[in-house]
Structure 1
Amino acid sequence: MIQRRTAVALLASPLLLTGCGGGAEATGRRPTATRPAPRAVPAPRATVRPAPRGIPGLGPATTAAIPAHCRQAVVVTGRGRDSPLCTVVLHRRTDAGWQAGPAWPGHNALRGWTTHHLAGDLRSPAGVHTLSDAGGLLPDPGSRLPYHHSAGFAPTGTGFRGEPLTGAFDYVIAVDYNRRPGTSPLDWTRPLGPRRGGGVWLHVDHGGPTHGCVSVARTHMRELLRTLDPRHHPVAVMGHADLLAR
């Protein structure tokens, strides 16, 4: 009888009741290791690439007129609608955008610029024009464009300021305004008709305004001839600053 009461007392002892101050030790089990919560891995930052550089001074309308495959642009920026003075910069398109070369002083037509050129108006035709052919009175200096060497490039007379025109056409690059690309700059075919003028060139500066052409120093003409490449589809972007900014 005494042995049965002892056994009951032991079963009722709080030291053997699980959950009463004993926990795992009371049950004889090892505590379960608590794993730390995993650290949140920050999401990778999106790489923001800068937009390709455009050509300074050109607005959306002018920029849109440059063909997508063009990688060389001779930008002729006039000082004003009626000014014969301009700045010429050769730009090259790269993966990062357009890269500008040095700025060269130049001349355009006596009365400035127009978007509707007519023969004899003494204004240069504004717009984006392809550059396909070259030539000159002097032998080819290493032109990448087709070069037409001819005695027909000998000018006569004087400029508007009385300056001699000798040497002005030693090197020329035809601007494809109202002409047939793939021919000599001396070709007088006029797809728009003779009333709309033509014979617009980049040529050697003679120190004064032109009838409709754009002129830069002889050194710069040689550089253009050696740089402009038909594979890069070169263009001339021409006009006064306010017009090009549109």
Structure 2
Amino acid sequence: MITHRARVALLAASLLLTGCGGGAAASPDHNAPAPATTSAAPGTPAPEAAARTVPRQLPGLGPKTRSAVPAAARQVVVVTGRGPDSPLSEVVLHRRTGTGWQPGPVWPAHNALRGWTDHHRAGDLRTPIGVYGLSDAGGRLPDPGTRLPYDRSTGGFRSPGTGFEGESLAGSFDHVIAIDYNREPGTSPLDWTRPLGAGRGGGIWIHVDHGGPTHGCVSIAERHMKDLLRALDPALHPVVVMGDHASLAR
């Protein structure tokens, strides 16, 4: 009988060959709580939120993290993990206005099985902490209307098998956004270029949630994925800021 530890090791090895958190193509990853009921467009506050004071600073970020956000960035996707070893997180898209940062709805999400790390390594099953560009997108399905460059590939964005909790990975890479960790911006999410070397991992994406932890990516529900793709605008220099609560507060 295969133990849970052995199963996790086998799954990790197989998915490193295809994508998320280890390579190029793709490897699904999540099991998220029920999505938020709001359908407001990303970056657009709900009516009750609009009446509140717009924060001058991105909430939850400490001085070290804020200083890493480029001055030109007017869209910031903040991914906040529940804890350093937790695979559960939340995603909020913020839009900078003349009065402050306007938050969009809160979306439940998954990150890597073992949580977060300041020094990501290939196969460590942790999501890299930091601030990274969001410059390219793609997926198995047609472009849903993003302004980011979109590479459609029915063969490249493969998500075979099952996740860490036995969930199907089908559809995980229907749509993805490449996180510019150890990759060459301006290329397809499937590009294998690793400026920091293969040992530092790669293929870190935002992709469609499949109901369980990921290898290193961040995943959100399909409808939220489409909302995010349609909202992101290269002219606003979007970035993602991600990590657990304590790390982001530094």
TM-score normalised according to structure 2 size:
0.77
Aligned to 1:173: 177
Q: CA deviation at 1:88?
A: 0.3
Distance change (3 Å), C-alpha of 1:52 and 1:216: closer
Aligned to 1:94: 97
Aligned to 1:161: 165
Q: CA deviation at 1:52?
A: 6.2
Q: CA deviation at 1:51?
A: 10
Q: Is the 8 A contact 1:52 1:95 kept in 2?
A: no
C-alpha root-mean-square deviation of aligned residues, in Å? 1.2
Cα displacement string for residues 89-143 of structure 1 (whole angstroms, at most 9, x for unaligned residues): 0000011111111100000000000010000000000000000000000001101
Aligned to 2:211: 207
Q: Is the 8 A contact 2:113 2:126 kept in 1?
A: yes
Aligned to 1:135: 138
4+ long deviations beyond 4 Å: none
Task: Say whether 1:80 aligns with 2:83.
Answer: yes
Q: CA deviation at 1:158?
A: 0.7
Q: Which one-letter code corresponds to 1:200 in the other structure?
A: I
Q: CA deviation at 1:53?
A: 1.1
Query: C-alpha distance in 2, partners of 1:51/1:67?
Result: 20
Aligned to 2:148: 145
Query: C-alpha distance in 1, partners of 2:185/2:145?
Result: 20
Aligned pair count reads: 197
Q: Which one-letter code corresponds to 2:182 in the other structure?
A: N
Q: CA deviation at 1:233?
A: 0.4
What percent of counterpart residues are identical? 71
Task: Say whether 1:240 aligns with 2:244.
Answer: yes
Unaligned runs of 5+ in 2: 1-52
SS for the counterpart of 1:220 is helix
Query: C-alpha distance in 2, partners of 1:126/1:51?
Result: 26
Superposed counterparts of 1:1-246, under 5 Å: 53-151=56-154, 152-246=156-250
Aligned to 2:45: none
Query: C-alpha distance in 2, partners of 1:198/1:167?
Result: 20
Compare CA radii of gyration and give the structure with the larger one. Answer: 1
Unaligned runs of 5+ in 1: 1-49
Distance change (3 Å), C-alpha of 1:110 and 1:52: closer
Query: C-alpha distance in 2, partners of 1:161/1:197?
Result: 23
Query: C-alpha distance in 2, partners of 1:208/1:178?
Result: 24
